[in-house]
């Protein structure tokens, strides 16, 4: 089969790979739409410490089941599915307490294992989710990033009548806005890019630029309280530090954005007790694909319309362009 390989940082080519075979408990999926995620760009740029090169990336995968391994039930050849890319070991503490997303030996399809930038991909049957009626492959491929939004809203216990500040209007920030709004929350979004804020506004978020006027504006909007919920989705260390100043006493902070390994974040220590705030991390997702798919199917999630579609076999040119001009595309989905 054809596959897109990253041979070395900034070196990508279309080549031949052996067809995956469905082992016991596995299925093979013929890929129809695979999103490009920041994580894929990190592999391309040589910044992902887990990827072993040559690698086949792609973890936002929608397609049709083409083969079923021994012992698999409830899935048929031809089923329209998405692939949940995270595989926990099942034995470590995190896995035992229901957090395989932070398994100490986590494997990710499209990072540690061959991913969706190929004609076919193999996956454990338990990682397969049926796509509800009415979704196209391109929209279904958004199940993975939307699931990240679902996970973060669960971690932050976002509920109706909450007032949620989302820092960052990138693809994950947009997913967060829509998941929080689907839960009935009021959402304020901030970003340094007016373009991105304009998109956030079309999704029903109130918007403010990320500058020195933000903290006083937030105090003015909340009778001096600060925000009940702050979700950090920029990965910028300064933005991460600002969450403690922006959150209300008794509020919740959810950290979704990734910083580089070794980056230190400073918080005023007294605020932990003075504000009795809750600070939680949120990593990828676990058990969130069904809710993500139903939010997509019900029309609550509209941001996939910002995506542009390109041929999977143009991936080498596409990745070079996205690397050279970050921000040119809000989101790209590749179709073979
Ligand atoms: Zn992703
Ligand atoms: Zn584990």
Question: Is the Cβ–Cβ distance between 231 and 176 less than 8 Å?
Answer: yes
Give me the pLDDT at residue 298, please.
97
150 pLDDT above the threshold of 90? yes
Neighbours of 93 (CB within 10 A): 10
Share of the chain above pLDDT 90, in %: 94
Give me the pLDDT at residue 77, please.
98
**Phi/psi class of residue 135: alpha, beta or left (left: φ > 0; alpha: ψ in -120 to 50)?**
beta
Q: How confident is the model at residue 51 (pLDDT cuts 50, 70, 90)?
A: confident
> What spacing in Å lies between the alpha carbon of 99 and ligand 2's midpoint?
8
Over residues 157-183, mean pLDDT: 97
Q: How many helices (H) and strands (E) does the chain have?
A: 11, 17
> What spacing in Å lies between the alpha carbon of 302 and ligand 2's midpoint?
34
> What spacing in Å lies between the alpha carbon of 242 and ligand 1's midpoint?
25
Q: How confident is the model at residue 84 (pLDDT cuts 50, 70, 90)?
A: very high
Over residues 22-35, mean pLDDT: 98
**What is the CATH code for 2-142+307-335?**
3.90.180.10
3-class secondary structure for 227-277?
Answer: EEEEEECCCCHHHHHHHHHHEEEEEEEEECCCCCCCCCCCCCCHHHHHCCC
C-alpha atoms less than 13 angstroms from C-alpha of 287 in its C-beta half-sphere: 9
Ligand nearest to the CA of 148: 1
Question: Is the Cβ–Cβ distance between 136 and 302 less than 8 Å?
Answer: no
Over residues 51-61, mean pLDDT: 93
Question: Is the Cβ–Cβ distance between 36 and 108 less than 8 Å?
Answer: no
pLDDT tens per residue, range 295-335: 999 999 999 999 999 999 999 999 999 999 988 898 999 99
This prediction's pTM: 0.96
- Work out the angle between the directed axes of helices 143-155 and 171-182 (0-180°, nearest 10): 60
202 pLDDT above the threshold of 90? yes
> What spacing in Å lies between the alpha carbon of 298 and ligand 2's midpoint?
33
Dihedral sign for Cα atoms in the order 123, 129, 133, 138? negative
> What spacing in Å lies between the alpha carbon of 323 and ligand 2's midpoint?
33
> What spacing in Å lies between the alpha carbon of 127 and ligand 2's midpoint?
15
> What spacing in Å lies between the alpha carbon of 101 and ligand 2's midpoint?
8
Which chain residues have CB less than 5 Å from ligand 1, an ion?
37
Give me the pLDDT at residue 121, please.
98
Neighbouring residues of 124: CB distance < 8 A, sequence distance ≥ 6: 25, 26, 87
Q: Which two tokens stand for residue 111?
A: 């990072």
Indicate the CATH number of 149-281 among 3.40.47.10, 3.40.50.720, 3.40.50.740, 3.40.50.10440. Answer: 3.40.50.720
50 pLDDT above the threshold of 80? no
Q: Where are the domains of the chain?
A: 2-142+307-335, 149-281
pLDDT tens per residue, range 250-267: 999 999 998 888 999 999
Ligand nearest to the CA of 170: 1
Neighbours of 222 (CB within 10 A): 17
> What spacing in Å lies between the alpha carbon of 285 and ligand 2's midpoint?
14
Ligand nearest to the CA of 109: 1
């Amino acid at each position: 089969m054809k596959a897109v390989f990253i041979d070395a940082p900034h070196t990508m080519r279309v080549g031949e790979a052996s067809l995956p075979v469905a082992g016991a408990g596995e299925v093979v999926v013929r890929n129809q739409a695979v999103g490009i995620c920041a994580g894929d760009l990190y592999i391309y740029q040589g910044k992902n410490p887990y990827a072993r090169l040559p690698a086949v990336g792609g973890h936002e995968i929608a397609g049709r089941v083409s083969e079923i391994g021994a012992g698999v039930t409830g899935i048929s050849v031809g089923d329209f599915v998405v692939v949940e890319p995270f595989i926990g070991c099942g034995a470590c503490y995190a896995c035992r307490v229901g957090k395989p997303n932070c398994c100490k030996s986590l494997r990710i399809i499209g990072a540690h294992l061959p991913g969706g930038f190929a004609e076919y991909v193999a996956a454990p049957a338990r990682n397969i989710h049926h796509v509800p009626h009415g979704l196209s492959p391109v929209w279904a491929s958004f199940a993975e990033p939307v699931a990240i939004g679902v996970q973060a809203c669960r971690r932050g216990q976002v509920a109706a009548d909450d007032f949620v500040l989302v820092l960052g209007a990138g693809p994950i920030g947009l997913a967060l806005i829509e998941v929080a709004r689907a839960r009935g929350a009021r959402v304020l979004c901030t970003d340094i890019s007016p373009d991105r804020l304009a998109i956030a506004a079309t999704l029903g978020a109130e918007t403010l630029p990320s500058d020195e006027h933000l903290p006083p504006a937030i105090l003015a909007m909340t009778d001096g309280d600060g925000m009940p919920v702050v979700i950090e989705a920029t990965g910028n260390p300064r933005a991460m530090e600002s969450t403690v100043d922006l959150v209300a006493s008794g509020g919740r902070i959810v950290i979704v954005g990734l910083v580089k390994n070794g980056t230190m974040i400073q918080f005023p220590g007294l605020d932990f007790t003075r504000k009795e705030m809750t600070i939680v991390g949120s990593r990828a997702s676990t058990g969130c694909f069904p809710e993500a798919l139903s939010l997509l199917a019900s029309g609550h999630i509209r941001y996939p319309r910002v995506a542009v579609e390109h041929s999977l076999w143009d991936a080498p040119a596409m990745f070079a362009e996205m690397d050279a001009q970050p921000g040119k595309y809000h989101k790209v989905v590749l179709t073979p």
